[in-house]
């Protein structure tokens, strides 16, 4: 079986923002019974840890709006204590960090990714519809004061944050935060008029950065789609994620679990396995779940057999892509 060391787990489809590239304003969220309970999430993740997962990234929606989510983080920390899990982390929009940063650190979280596309209050309100920038900045402060290392994930959007490239990079350098840009393809089915114009290839973004800074490619790979450079003048590290390039498939060590217990074996394909059924049918044994996971992972594509026709560039896929940073 191909070694899978990195699991991303969505714990909710809900969010307190409505980013235009991710959600429509009026969303129908999943009924509660469809979601894995916190106890089921615990069993699921623990089974993966038993199978060799060393890095667990919690995502959403917005993971910190899930009720009692700290119960889950606290319980996962036992795997950090045992040494089986090397890293417990999350991707968040930052809105709730002022409430949870200390508790997350206490649970063993050391690094977090925060999705933030602009430092302009008005633009922030526009793109998130419901979000407020000062609250997120307060959350970032709280995270850093709690001892969490912060990485800022920026979705690159032409005509939206192009003009903030240097101000965002400078801000991250000043605050000693890592920075990653994420490329997003034009949107399909979110009902948004002019997104098609907002595709900003990271190649262009990188060339713009190179006008002001000396970029050195870093060999560092994490088994995912990110590539890193160092800006020699500031010493900061900047990542680039182009989710739909497939040059990392052979080394890909990651799988993704949705909040309803579907396992996606590949970031770029829709092939998935239902793990909720074997989990719910066998409350007293993890053997069937274990077998279902092994079976699913054995189907993980190896790179060259990539089936491009099955990609879903718009909508659903793009949403996950917007949070691929890690």
Residues engaged in binding ligand SF4 (CB under 6 A):
15, 17-19, 22-23, 60-62, 93, 115, 128, 322-323
For the chain, what's the residue count?
326
Distance, in Å, from the CA atom of 324 to the CA atom of 320, rounded to the nearest integer, reads: 6
- In the complex, least distance from residue 71 CB atom to ligand SF4, rounded to whole angstroms: 21
* Minimum CB distance to ligand SF4, residue 291 (Å): 32
Nearer to ligand SF4, 14 or 227 (CB): 14
| Closest distance of CB 49 from ligand SF4, Å | 25
Strands 254-257 and 237-241: unpaired
Nearer to ligand SF4, 22 or 107 (CB): 22
CB of 57 to ligand SF4, least distance (A): 14
Closer residue to ligand SF4 in complex, CB, 122/304: 122
Question: Minimum distance between the CB of residue 154 and ligand SF4, rounded to whole angstroms?
Answer: 12
Give 196-236 as a DSSP string: GGGB--HHHHHHHHHHHS-EEEE----SSSEEEEEETTT--
As a whole number of angstroms, the distance between CA 260 and CA 269 comes to 18
- For the bound state, the minimum distance from the C-beta of residue 95 to ligand SF4, rounded and expressed in Å, comes to 8
Nearer to ligand SF4, 22 or 41 (CB): 22
By beta-carbon proximity to ligand SF4, the closer residue of 161 and 322 is 322
Q: Residue 22 contacts by C-beta under 8 Å, 6 or more apart in sequence?
A: 15, 190, 318, 319, 322
Residue 91 burial class via C-beta count within 10 angstroms: exposed 0-12, middle 13-18, buried 19 and up = buried
Rounded distance, CA 110 to CA 11, Å? 19
Residue closer to ligand SF4 by CB (options 15, 263) is 15
Integer Cα distance of 148 and 150 in angstroms? 6
The candidate with the shortest Cα–Cα distance to 100, out of 121, 61, 72, 79, is: 72
């Amino acid at each position: 079986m191909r070694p899978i060391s990195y699991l991303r787990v969505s714990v909710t489809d809900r969010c307190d923002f409505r980013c235009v590239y991710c959600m429509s304003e009026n969303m129908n969220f999943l009924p509660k019974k469809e979601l894995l309970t916190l106890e089921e999430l615990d069993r699921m993740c623990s089974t993966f840890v038993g199978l060799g997962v060393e890095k667990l990234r919690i995502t959403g929606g917005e993971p910190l709006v899930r009720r009692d989510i700290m119960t889950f983080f606290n319980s996962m920390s036992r795997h950090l204590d045992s040494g089986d899990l090397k890293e417990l982390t999350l991707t968040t929009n930052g809105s709730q960090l002022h409430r949870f940063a200390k508790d997350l650190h206490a649970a063993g979280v050391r690094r977090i990714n925060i999705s933030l596309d602009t430092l302009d209050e008005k633009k922030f309100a526009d793109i998130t519809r419901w979000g407020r920038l000062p609250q997120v900045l307060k959350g970032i402060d709280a995270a850093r004061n709690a001892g969490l290392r912060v990485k800022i994930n920026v979705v690159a959007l032409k005509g939206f944050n192009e003009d903030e490239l240097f101000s965002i990079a400078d801000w991250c350098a000043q605050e000693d935060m890592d920075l990653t840009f994420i490329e997003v393809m034009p949107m399909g089915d979110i009902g948004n008029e002019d997104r098609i114009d907002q595709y900003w290839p990271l190649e262009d973004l990188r060339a713009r950065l190179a006008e002001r800074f000396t970029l050195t490619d870093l060999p560092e790979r994490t088994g995912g789609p990110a590539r890193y450079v160092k800006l020699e003048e500031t010493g900061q590290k900047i990542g680039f994620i182009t989710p739909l390039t497939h040059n990392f498939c052979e080394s890909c060590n990651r799988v993704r679990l949705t909040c309803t217990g579907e396992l996606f074996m590949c970031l770029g394909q829709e092939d998935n396995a239902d793990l909720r059924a074997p989990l719910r049918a066998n409350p007293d044994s993890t053997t069937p779940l274990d077998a279902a996971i092994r079976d699913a992972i054995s189907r993980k594509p190896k790179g060259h057999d990539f089936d491009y026709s099955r990609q879903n560039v718009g909508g659903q896929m793009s949403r996950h892509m917007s949070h691929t940073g890690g």
